[in-house]
Structure 1
Amino acid sequence: MVLGKAPPAMQSVATARHEAWLSTSVPHLSINSEHIVTARSHPSGDDRWPPIITAMRKAFAATTTALLLVGAAACSASDSSSTDDTKTGPAARRPITAGSAFSDVSAKVSTAKKSGTVTAANDPNHLLGRPNQYTSKVTFTDTRIKASDVSGTEKGAVERGGAIEVFADASAAKARADYIQSVTKAMSALAEYDYVHDTVLVRVSHYLTPDQAAEYKAAADTLK
């Protein structure tokens, strides 16, 4: 069966239906058969479409391009924010040492003066760096303690002011404080105040009054 050109009556019906569909699909668009342009009269390019359709196609393309650009900009901003968060997050926090802890404590207790840094070579207790022992230690004096009270003690002795010891973990710091307290419990001459904050142990001379020693505890509690 060979299909030929549709009779004029059928062409008129198709055209009318086409006009009705366009009027329904495109609000406020009034269209008639004069706007229907065939490919025969406009063989290529945008010229083969009615002006209103061409304008709609261009507007759609422009809107799509704008949305893609906005999406790309949003992704870029999100990636930048994530990078900034990484730089300023917890991972950027400095590792605490006895030296840095003393700097923070002495900023709040002005009478504390650093007297020495303990190393594995000069540690009189031979504990620095040993298993489960402190990894860094500094000693300090306190100007409120009378020189006559500590005249017979060695340089770096806790009686002269105190010491700060830092451990690998909080449990080791607490174990060290518990051990010192158990040893000095029956020896009043060796008594001392011990304050544990996370991995830091702050040891304070018993020559300071409880109120004076409490200043060290308050300072230790702010260590980060």
Structure 2
Amino acid sequence: MKFYWIKTSALLKKMFSNYVWDIPNNENSVYLTFDDGPTPEITQWTLLQLKKYNAKATFFCIGNNVEKHPELFNTIIQEDHAIGNHTYNHLNGWKTETETYIKNAKQCEIRISNQQSEINNRKSKLFRPPYGKIKSKQAKKLMELGYKIIMWDVLSADFDSSITREKCLNNVISNVQSGSIIVFHDSVKGFKNLEYVLPKTLEFLKQNGYKCEAIL
């Protein structure tokens, strides 16, 4: 199993302080995020769970999936969740030339913007690098384009099929605190864990006085 941080270290946050790792606040707000969608059935299910708890979230969408499933993408917007750019083809920044990476991100931006303009005028300027892997030159160019680079404070690891659903849930509830940005995936790969973890996470957050907000 590859190593990954569940709770992002303070040192890493300090080293890359130009990225957004958490959003400190006095309102007991946390920020649920979902990567890799929209995905038929799974994203609809995710939206239903969020609606049950009056929770808002941020969806970092792959441009190609937005193109294939525009109505589902529109539903995310109509239910007043935030949208972020996750590149057009889920590129690994460490393995991609900067010019290609930026072009791919712009392709995703065009697809997202075209869909959003049909519903409202809110433009997305949030970006999360797939796998959390991005070169400094890539990040600099994206920030020059007006993007905020959104990373995370807590990784659920729902994508990891080698861990139990209980472990996945514990990754979240034992590490969440006010201001945490939490990563889930509305993808086929992550759904085995997400289906178990998300409802229990939402109930835990409600019982402990947290509010789930979208990233603006």
* Bigger Cα Rg: 1
Structure with the higher fraction of residues in helix conformation: 1
TM range (shorter): under 0.3
The structure with higher relative contact order (CA 8 Å, sep 6+) is 2
TM-score, length-scaled by structure 2: 0.24
